[in-house]
Amino acid sequence: MKKIFLVTALAVATLSVNVLAMQAQAGVLGLKPSANQSVTQSSGNTTNAANTDVQNVQYDTTKYQYPAQQLKAEGKNFDKYNWRLFQRFDTGELMVQAWADGLNWRIREYADNTAAAARGSERIYAFDLREEVLPYYDCEYTINGMRRSSSENKLYFMRNDSGHMDIPVRMSVGVHVKPENCYPRGTRIVVPGAMNHNGSGEPFAVYQELYWNNASNGQTTNETVDDYNAKYGHPIEPVKLYYPSVNRALYVSGWCLDDVAKYMPIIDSVYLDDNPENNSHYTYLLHYKLRSLPGMEQDI
């Protein structure tokens, strides 16, 4: 018997909740309502428009594995940045590779330990899931009064950028073996050095919202620590990954996926074509684009 799923309304409602939560943090740790929050709100409205074709869709869960697969097969218009449309019907697992493929981005496993082991030889990109290190590198902790979690393992989201294969424009999310470790953390956007067509240059830089940059650097007060812990000192929306190459459950924070997804269209909007001769110029403009976002901090 065919099962019917109505998921779009839930996805849009969840996005709206995340937008309201981000707006509520305004003024805390020095952050004003930022441009990317406005873009996220706008993106939510755009999502509604883009998802006109998918409202009240009857999803055929016997024929398709996840909503976006059916929507694409039927030629429907939908928001490609909405990762919730890539969650499997049967398990709820996120088809993260399929999501990245549809965005013209790619993903890469990363762990400091595996990268360090490969120094001086061929580069290795892989998670470090050794049982003896997981309790130390995938855990909850408290620093400067703020409750956080850390993970040695990360998924990099990188633009398919032929001009900067070694240091592409990238963002990352922590990958955890326990859902209770899926705490939120503000996205850091890595942008390589670049030159525009006139020969002016921009050096390598990392960008992050001032709120999260201040929290990471311990620039807090008792009041802001309490506010941080109330909003972010706990796991938010653990999402299990569909990751058959690893023989264990892996999780990421849905909050972190939303944070990455809100920056993707901002970054993509700068790259007007795929001409390699224009790539460095567009990357140069991306530095200015990110610095123009109110509440954004250039960390490096």
What per-residue confidence (pLDDT) applies to 300? 80
Q: How far apart are CA 22 and CA 26, in angstroms?
A: 7
Residue 166: per-residue pLDDT: 73
Task: Give the chain's residues under pLDDT 70.
Answer: 1-52, 162-165
Q: Between 254-268 and 35-50, two packed helices, what is the crossing angle to 10 degrees?
A: 90
All residues at 6 or more sequence positions from 161 whose CB lies less than 8 Å from its CB, including other chains:
168, 169, 279, 283
Please tell me the distance from the alpha carbon of residue 19 to that of residue 16, in angstroms, as a whole number: 5
Helix (H, G, I), strand (E, B) or coil at 88: coil
Q: What is the pLDDT of residue 23?
A: 39
Number of residues written out for the chain = 300
CA distance 244 to 234: 28
Dihedral sign from CA coordinates of 13, 268, 183, 23: negative
Name the DSSP letter for residue 181: G
Q: Which token pair is 218?
A: 């311990």
> Residue with structure tokens 């899926």?
182
For 126-177, how does the pLDDT look when each residue is reduced to its tens digit (9 = 90+)? 999 999 999 999 999 999 999 999 999 999 999 987 666 678 999 999 999 9
Rounded Cα gap, residues 201 and 26, in angstroms: 33
Check residue 114 and give its pLDDT: 87
Asked if residues 133 and 114 have their Cβ atoms less than 8 Å apart, the reply is no
Q: Are 59 and 8 in contact (CB under 8 A)?
A: no
Cα(254)–Cα(32) distance, integer angstroms: 23
The full DSSP string for 8-45 is HHHHHHHHHHHHHHHHHTTTGGGPPPPHHHHHHHHHHH
